[in-house]
Amino acid sequence: MARTSSPAERGLSVVRINRLAAMQFIGPAALFAAVGAAEAAALALSRFPSSEWLWAVNLGYFSPFQQAHYTLKGLLGFDYEQFYLVALPLFAAALIGLALKRHLLLGVASNLSFAYIGFVLIAWLHAQPDAPQASLVALYTPSQNPDAQMLVALIVVSVFSFLITHFDFLRRVRAEAR
């Protein structure tokens, strides 16, 4: 007699797949939120240029995205390119992949969000001033730089999403090979 799985066993596997998919979705969602907040702060600053608080937020937290904007604007020539050409399409692809259970689409969105965070990191590091060779200046500490903290948080989230995506694909390949 063939053994059928109980509804609880089937439910457990569905929860596990949904949990893995949700963990993959974290990377594109975090990128979408961060780029959206950076673009909103830049737009608000353009409307209210005398606001000290907006200047502090824009320069303190979103300078990595500002540097990436300068790099992309030189190539593309229009504003809000990070949001419309990167964050929104990746978020939409991840959302569609999650809703339609298209694991490849969700995985591609997760991997590309990781790649874009890498681009933002490189653009930000490229814009940082070189450290003096011999100096008595205190060592660099990320705790004094909220933009570095925000960037590290995005890197951690996107690496997590990236690793979960690869773990899920390896698990699926192994299951099909059996």
Question: Minimal CA–CA distance to 146: which of 124, 129, 169?
Answer: 124
In a structure prediction context, what are the per-residue pLDDT tens digits for the chain, which is 178 residues long? 555 555 555 544 444 457 888 899 999 999 999 999 999 999 999 999 999 998 988 888 998 999 999 888 878 777 888 999 999 999 999 999 998 889 899 999 999 999 999 999 999 988 877 655 555 555 555 557 888 889 999 999 999 999 999 999 999 899 998 8
What is the tens place of the pLDDT at every residue in 31-52?
999 999 999 999 999 999 999 9
What is the tens place of the pLDDT at every residue in 106-124?
999 999 999 999 999 999 9
Spatial contact of 44 and 54, defined as CB atoms under 8 Å apart? yes
Which of 104-135 are b and which e, b meaning 16 or more Cβ less than 10 Å from the residue's Cβ?
ebbbbbbbbbbebbeebbebbeeeeeeeeeee
pLDDT at position 8 is 52
Give the domain ranges of the chain.
24-128+140-177
Question: Minimal CA–CA distance to 87: which of 25, 162, 158, 32?
Answer: 32
